[in-house]
Amino acid sequence: MGKQDRDFKAVGTRPLRPDGVEKVTGRAKFGADLSAPGMLVGRFLRSPHAHARIRSIDTSKAAALPGVKAVVTGDSFDITKVSSGNHDTLANVMARDKALYEGHAVAAIAAISVSIARKALKLIEVDYEVLPHVTDVDEAMAADAPLLHENMFTANLTPKPTKPSNIANFYEFGHGDIEAGFAKADVIIERSFKTAATHQGYIEPHACLANMTQDGQGELWCCTQGHFMVRNVCADLMGMEISKLRVTASEIGGGFGGKTTVFIDPVALMLSKLAGKPVKIVMSREEVFKASGPTSSTSMRIKIGATNDGRLTACEGEFNYQGGAYADSPVQFGAMSAFACYDLEHVKTVGYDVAANRPKNVAYRAPGAPMAAFAVESVMAEMADRLGLDQLEFRLKNAATEGTRSSYGPTYNSVGLTETIKAAQSHDHYSAPLGANQGRGIASGFWFNFGGQTAVSLNVQEDGTVNVTVGTPDIGGSRASMGLMVAEELGIEYDNIRCIIADTSSLGYNDVTDGSRTTFSSGLALINAAKDAKAKMCARAARIWDIPAEAVEWKDGCVQPAGANAGEFEPMSFAEIAANADNTGGPIAGHHEINASGAGVSFGTHMVDVEVDPDTGYVKILRYTVVQDAGKAVHPAYVEGQYQGGAVQGIGWALNEEYIYGEDGRLQNAGFLDYRMPVASDLPMIDTVIVEVPNPGHPYGVRGVGETSIVPPMAAIANAVSQAAGVRMTELPMSPPRVLKAMDDAKGG
């Protein structure tokens, strides 16, 4: 479906990843796997309170303990020299006047052993004035809510608020006349929804090894989705010149957006600077839950109007996202993406970004979109049922296509939503029979995808092999995709290409691996770098043949005379030209630097069958199918992996995962036993269908594939559970007690 005319040789095949053997033998070096001679261990002291003023911190006893080499508090950093855009990051890394959530760092120690560091932490005396706290999004928005920041006035509101609140930002998107649209509707459905905060749940805790030397230079090894970002932020917080800090990205044990900022890195650098020795910090799992960056809990209201024949007349949404201590919720993306699947004349969304006494939010895979899709696609399913229409037909009838003005502004070029819905219709899953207490749910979803700043390098070696250097950490097999695209462009074997992730001193700035941008942007840049190398190799052949450079051309991995007039020469292979590099002008390399645009939006449609246990409310996932547009699947096995992984994270979000807070504002389930992520025995195989509607913004048609897959699952599962349980589920997670209560309430009513 949607195939391109072009025949690919390398792209679309499934070779082994170049970094695979290191990873199956335990030799790959992740964040916590590196040590340095003379290394100290760093440990944090964290606030036990959800909200407290820090009256004073006395570290003198800790500093005096033998074996303690450095102590850091908020005062160790000179905020006056830090750019204003990083003030919240600095205050989050190390609390300054107030601790804003349980787990907020207040001090850190570097010592010669873990046991001494632990003992030292107990000697730090912090005088807290405990303040009233708020963790729920609706309560945080109330006029009388405890205030986190006295200087927080809602931005983008007219008139400008005169009183501070916990609402940091207001957003509004849409077009048309929403009231006129609802006036045309035969049926209007309006519902409210709530979702719990969830964590990305990467298995590797944050870890780093910092090494500052006495001349003010530094090196940092860390697990991150973006080491250039880490370098720039850390240099700013440390008051260093950017070029004096070299950051190397370790192998990264999952990120899903959660490793797109810094938590421990600046503190490790500061401890190392003060101690004059390398310092390693590894977060515990409890610290990851309490003090890294989960995503929002939300409260949403959706109103949809449609005609009896199934055409949407108006869509409206209000999205309130709890964004943690500094109001960093992705509500803007939620409000933008909510109705992005549909071709709408009248649409309006508003979003409120709300601060609460919880960890500072960081991105989580398609940030903001899954919650919004849960609400919107739940109402869409209810509307289809109300109108007596087939779920997929109803969506098809309203699907955004090329030329549709999106709900967030831009007009779509070539997009693949219709193709995913049609592929779902023809999949045997859609017509398979269901048993008692079972339900089938459908949902579609959207993600923007991203391009961004990218710099790559490609070096041709004298034996005709190629080294490729990118600056985007490989989280899920992207080195293999890079190799395939270079093999395609150069016409050489995949096995002759080796891709590495370079440190920050070796390439120009690269944006973080996020927004599903890596295969798109680094791939785009590498294709251009390969073209650059090919042009140089053509010139080398022309030089050998002593004919003008314009008189040669690249064909099938060889250089040949462009026509009969150019002269008669045997084509020179890639390897031959590479072997002659030293005689023809020296090393051959290709480069490309770009701020990539044209990432190409992505759509997916999911189908899921569930069975609800009427006695316990337990939901079993029976069958799951992901259909998604990849534009062009460079390495289909890893594309499938992204589809499957996103779907299963969505299953966890839908059924089990939630941040549970006590009355005291403390997190009650900061561990994998109680923060229940899906395990193998919870799940069936996850079926995938790769749709390929080429992205016009990429030479091979590639679209990002990493994020869209987590957008539809919660809605699809909620629709399935609602059908099976006979009652509309409007709150996540749909844990057994919640499903049982909904069924009991429905019976009672």
Partner 1 sequence: MTQTHVSTTINGDKVEYLCETDETLLDVLRDTLSLTGSKEGCGSGDCGACSVMLDGRLVCACLVLGVEAQDRKIETIEGMASGDELHPLQQKFLEHAALQCGICTPGFLVAAKALLDENPDPTETEVRYWLAGNLCRCTGYDKIIRAVMDAATEMRGQA
Q: Which residues bind partner 1 (CB under 8 A)?
A: 14, 16-17, 19-21, 23-30, 32-33, 35, 113, 115, 200-205, 251-256, 282, 284-285, 475-477, 635, 637-638, 640-641, 644-649, 671-673, 677-683, 685-686
Q: Give the span between the Cα atoms of 715 and 710, in whole angstroms.
A: 10
Nearer to partner 1 among residue 74 and residue 226 (C-beta): 226
Of residues 52 and 197, the one with the C-beta less far from partner 1: 197
Which CB sits closer to partner 1, 25 or 84?
A: 25
Question: Shortest Cβ distance from residue 457 to partner 1 (Å)?
Answer: 24
Burial degree of 682 (CB within 10 A; 0-12, 13-18, 19+): middle
Its sign, for the CA torsion 656, 364, 233, 154, is: negative
CB of 281 to partner 1, least distance (A): 13
Q: How far is the CB of 653 from partner 1 (least distance, A)?
A: 12
Residues 6+ apart with CB under 8 A from 297: 136, 137, 194, 195, 196, 197, 321, 322, 358, 659
Asked whether the beta carbons of 475 and 252 are under 8 A apart, the reply is yes
Backbone angles phi, psi at 381, to 5 degrees: -65, -40
> Minimal distance in Å, beta carbon 114 to partner 1?
8
Instruction: Find the angle CA(298)-CA(303)-CA(306) to the nearest 5 degrees.
Output: 145
Closer of 646 and 733 to partner 1 (Cβ): 646
Q: CA 294 to CA 475: how far, in whole Å?
A: 19
Strand 52-58 to 125-130 pairing: antiparallel
By beta-carbon proximity to partner 1, the closer residue of 204 and 611 is 204
Q: Could you give the CA distance from residue 514 to residue 340 in angstroms, rounded to a whole number?
A: 20
Query: Which CB, 565 or 681, lies closer to partner 1?
Result: 681
Q: Is there a contact between 399 and 342 (Cβ–Cβ < 8 Å)?
A: yes
How many Å apart are CA 487 and CA 464, to the nearest integer? 12
DSSP letter, residue 413: -
Q: Rounded CA gap, 734 and 608, in Å? A: 15
Q: In the numeric block, which tokens belong to residue 156?
A: 């983008």
Q: Minimum Å distance from CB 567 to partner 1?
A: 47
Select 21 or 180, whichever has its Cβ closest to partner 1: 21
Q: How far is the CB of 646 from partner 1 (least distance, A)?
A: 8
Whole-number minimum distance, CB 166 to partner 1, in Å?
Answer: 31
Judged by DSSP in three states, 630 sits in: coil
Specify the residue, 19 or 102, whose C-beta has the smaller distance to partner 1: 19
Q: C-beta of 683: minimal distance to partner 1 in Å? A: 6
In terms of CB distance, is 328 or 474 closer to partner 1? 474
Q: What is the smallest separation between the CB atom of 641 and partner 1, expressed in angstroms?
A: 5
**DSSP symbols for 294-357:** ----EEEEEEEEE-TTS-EEEEEEEEEEE-TTTT---HHHHHHHTTTTB--SSEEEEEEEE--S
629 vs 640, beta carbon nearer partner 1? 640
Q: How many CA atoms lie within 13 A of 61 on its CB side?
A: 10
Do the beta carbons of residue 352 and residue 137 sit within 8 Å?
Answer: no
User: 219: how many CB neighbours lie within 10 A of its CB?
Assistant: 21
Q: Give the number of other CB atoms < 10 A from CB of residue 23.
A: 12
Least distance between partner 1 and beta carbon 60 (Å): 24
Measured from the CB atom, is 467 or 669 closer to partner 1? 669
CB closer to partner 1, 181 vs 678: 678
Q: Which is nearer to partner 1, 116 or 212 (CB)?
A: 116
CA-to-CA distance for 165 and 490, rounded, in angstroms? 57
Cis ω before 733 (30° cut-off from 0): yes
Q: Which is nearer to partner 1, 26 or 159 (CB)?
A: 26
8 Å CB contact between 103 and 291: yes
Answer yes or no: are the C-beta atoms of 441 and 605 closer than 8 Å: no
CB atoms near residue 160 (< 10 Å): 9
* Nearest distance, CB of residue 269 and partner 1, angstroms: 21
Question: How far apart are CB 477 and partner 1 at their closest, in Å?
Answer: 6
- Tell me if residue 691 falls in helix, strand or coil: strand
Rounded to a whole number of angstroms, the minimum distance from the CB of residue 19 to partner 1 is 8
Smallest distance from the beta carbon of 490 to partner 1, in angstroms?
24
Alpha-carbon span 514 to 364, nearest angstrom: 10
Which contiguous run of DSSP H or E holds residue 478?
A: helix 478-490
Residue 337 C-beta: closest distance to partner 1, Å: 22
Tokens, residue 150: 């006295």
CA distance 14 to 417: 26
Around Cβ 66, how many Cβ atoms within 10 Å? 8
Nearer to partner 1, 344 or 621 (CB): 621
User: CA 34, CA 605: separation in Å to the nearest integer?
Assistant: 42
Q: Indicate the residue among 23 and 61 with the shorter CB distance to partner 1.
A: 23
Least Å distance between CB 493 and partner 1? 18
